[in-house]
Amino acid sequence: MTKVAVATTSQLAADAAAEVAALGGNAVDCALAAALFTINTEPGVCALAGGAFITVWVAGRDPVTIDGNVAVPGRGQPESDCNHTVSNVTLDYGGGITTLAGPGSVAVPGSLAAIERAWALFGKARWQDLFAPVIRATRDGFPLSSACHFYLGISGEDIFSRSDDGFFALHKEDRSLRELRSLIVIPHLADTLSAIADEGARLFYEGDLAKIVTDHVLQGGGALTMQDLKDFEAIERPSLTVDVAGWTIASTPPPAVGGTVLAAMLLACADLPHRGWTSDALSRLVQVQSAALDYRKSRLDLANDVGVESARLLEAARSGQLLGEWSSASTVHTSAVDDSGIACAVTASSGYGSGEMPAGTGLWLNNCLGELELNRRGLAADPPGVRLPSNMAPSIARRKGRVLAAGSPGADRITTALHQFLVNLLQMDMPLFQAVAHPRLHIDTSGTAKRLMAEPGLDLPDVDLPVTVFPELNMYFGGIGATLVDRESGFQVASDPRREGGSVISAH
């Protein structure tokens, strides 16, 4: 039996991966099983009807990324008939964010297509085996995690009150949120997952389930059609790779922007001294983040050809011009490696949630069209079928007998969290858990003026920016999950203390 190490967002999801490993699953099977578990048992934080990227690197082969990101809906409809009925919602999260909810915010979901594609290309276990743990948990009930409890405390009434099934699965009769660790049963979800396990993803994209979902969205004033779902394909792309500190790091390629921004920040910080995060090093980090995020916001997010603009950003980082020219956005993640050298990193998102749950499905739908910090083109973003921008950057790194899989949730904090973790581990030689747990900073570009957001414990430099220092480590700064296998020293796993997290190293 293959030995597998997994880091993910809950111990129950890690246990699901171990269950699949015991059935002969490899790192890809285990990562997908854990991802399915956490996607469906982190209400508010993620949901199956969203988008996902999956990076896989098999020893001796080139790394690939499965693009299951959400797309613009509206195929088969005259443009004049495409509606976008939404509600404007302001949430007190991370200093305040504005998002759009309701049927008009729903983009074409791709997570399930990506999961099935990755399994078909690389998996060893049975399709049904990947679903067994999450079906059991959603039928019997799963505990309300701290990340979900925190986010639903902010968004429960404003977003998730649109479906009685969904709302009262999470709230009491007096409309107050259920207590932390309460057992949650979402009506119909286990039945929906069982049907997908039996029939495959085609049920969601072409079958009765597709009709229920699209009828709900169209009747509510959205644009998602049966043709959108039928035509959707998860796309296998060569991963974007960059060499830093003797490691080759593979992440999401264009049209996603997360991998490009991460690679640019890594290149721009490649010559940082190894003495740790001194005030001078943090000053450089602030400059690099500010420059890379400025470029993303002004060029990548609105680019007609993301590949061309990505190449320009990477060239600027390699040549040292990035800082000179550019110094003036809800997810879950699972990482897995095995002793055959296969690594898999899965990041999935449903935005902040549309609040929409088609009757009888148990499935919350995404609001990725309304995730304004990423989709800056707005509700009528592009022609139907075009992928929306994404910061998701599930990543894998290799160096001389060592394989690392890592990633993070956190909207536009994904790339900055991953960058700091990778510098900690690969350049500053911190132990894996310390590299994950070390305090982070983030340049917030979501408003009209930039802000420096930081965790306590950093020797912050003087900067000409408003500064907010959180009282403790906070899930706002992401939630790194990392697994590492070394040919000589064996397996290591680390889950971020900012979220509950869970990890497992399966026995032979």
Decide if 497 is inside a domain: no
CA dihedral 71, 76, 77, 82 (to 10 degrees): -10
Residue 15, in any domain of the structure = no
Q: What is the DSSP letter of 307?
A: H
Per-residue model confidence as pLDDT tens for the chain (508 residues): 689 999 999 999 999 999 999 999 999 999 999 999 999 999 988 999 999 999 999 999 999 999 999 999 999 887 656 667 888 887 776 556 788 889 999 999 999 999 999 999 999 999 999 999 999 999 999 999 988 888 888 887 888 888 999 999 999 999 999 999 999 999 999 999 999 999 999 999 999 999 999 999 999 999 999 999 999 999 999 999 999 999 999 999 998 899 999 999 999 999 888 888 999 999 999 999 998 988 888 788 777 788 898 998 898 888 877 655 443 336 789 999 999 999 999 999 998 899 999 999 999 999 988 886 666 666 766 789 888 888 899 999 999 899 999 999 877 789 999 999 999 999 999 999 999 999 999 998 877 788 999 999 999 999 989 999 999 998 889 899 999 999 889 999 999 998 878 899 987 5
pLDDT at 375: 63
Q: Tell me the chain's radius of gyration from C-alpha atoms.
A: 21
How many domains does the chain contain in total? 1
Predicted pLDDT at 217 = 96
With respect to residue 73, please indicate whether it lies within any of the assigned structural domains: yes
DSSP of 233-257: --EEEEPEEEEETTEEEEEPPTT-S
Do 350 and 366 touch, CB atoms closer than 8 A? yes
- Does residue 175 belong to any structural domain of this protein? yes
Domain holding 137, by residue range, is 25-236+349-370
Does a structural domain hold residue 250? no
> What pTM was estimated for this model as a whole?
0.93
pLDDT of residue 301: 78
Within-domain flag for 289: no
The pLDDT value recorded for residue 490 is: 93
- Tokens read off for 201: 């993803």
Residue 256's contacts (CB-CB under 8 Å, 6 or more residues apart) are: 53, 65, 67, 69, 306, 387, 389, 390, 391, 392, 393
What's the pLDDT score for residue 275? Answer: 81
Strands 467-469 and 451-454, how do they pair? parallel
- Through-space distance between the first and last CA atoms of the chain, rounded to whole angstroms: 5
Instruction: Give the containing element (helix H, strand E) for 66.
Output: strand 64-68
Q: In whole angstroms, how far apart are CA 397 and each of 237, 253, 330, 417, 469? A: 17, 15, 24, 16, 31
Q: Is the residue at 338 inside a domain?
A: no
